[in-house]
Structure 1
Amino acid sequence: MNQASKGRRVSRSPHIDTDEIIKSARRRARAADSRKRALLADRATPATDGGLALQPALAPEPSVVERPARPEPVAPKRRPARQPRKVAPPEPVVTARAPFVFAIIGLIAAGIVGLLVLNTAINENAFTLQDLRQNQAVLDASEQKLTDELADLSAPGNLAAAAERLGLVDAEDITYLRLPDGKELAMPMPGGN
């Protein structure tokens, strides 16, 4: 024995045969059926069904040699079909028709008015959009004209002519100031020594 089973009592159950269980259940059912038939059958004719009978079988009288009559199988009583419960129908609901009709007409009228208001707002926005597009076209043309003028004025020939009119001359020596100490730096001219 191992350590785990030392403290416990080990019980061994005999092997259970399912066929035997089914057979014994059938025997019990037949016995119950036999008892039932005996109770329902004629009391003068005892029910004999092997060792399961309620009364011992009576020997036939010597003058009459008959076999004991087997009781007729009793058909199980059928339950009557359930009838659905009859429930009284609910009382009809009486409502006035005029308020309902007026409410429906009011809903339809409100829907039509709402559609007209929505359509008017959409058309008004369409006119506003058309005006804004025309203004955009005018502003685009003005921008293009000003861009062309700026390009003409910033051309090198036009800049030189404007500088001469203002009395400006070309610089011969270029000097730069260094900001931290204020020292001047002379830059050599291209082609000069």
Structure 2
Amino acid sequence: MGSDSAENHFDSSAGPEQVRAFGTALEALRGFHDALTAAAPSADVLERLAADLQGWTQTLTPLEVPEPDRLAGRLRNLPVRGHPALPPVLLDVVEDDKVEGTVTFGTFFLGRGGAAHGGTIATVFDEVLGVMASHRGHSATRTAYLKTDFRSIVPIGEPIRIRGWMDREEGRKRYVRGELWAGDTLCAEAEALFVVERQG
């Protein structure tokens, strides 16, 4: 099965200042990603950049901790739980039968021609529909199936509305659906099956 999700399954013992600082670092990282992908740096600039990044890798590598103790992807107070590989999704509705929010795909997520990369769109659906599936009963779930249909390009650099809702529930199986809208234009639809993990 694919990725797992649950509001109470992802947690961290990080304090408020650490969460705030991690969020600030993520914003800087996302800004860097967009700047790098929008530029055509010279070889000299790229070599300097690589040296700086290697220095930070050497700083962070000794700080590795077991998965349950990590910050990335485990901070419920940050958009997408502070996952660095996802564009931040700001959910303003999270209920037992629906979720709604806004996502902006930066230049880092460009496919081509001003459109967000299709794989990133599917990943955002996986994240948001996983929130929908796991919110009911606050259960840990895993993605068993995710199908995405693209109706129109998803433009980068502008707010896109995303919504998900519960289609039906059969025992441990939760079938959910979702949509992405750019204004009045339906950009993509998704249907997914999430399975509630067994206790233990």
Q: What is the TM-score of this pair, normalised by structure 2?
A: 0.17
In terms of fraction of residues, the more helix-rich structure is 1
Q: What is the TM-score of this pair, normalised by structure 1?
A: 0.18
Q: Which has the higher contact order (CA 8 A, sep 6+)?
A: 2
In terms of fraction of residues, the more strand-rich structure is 2
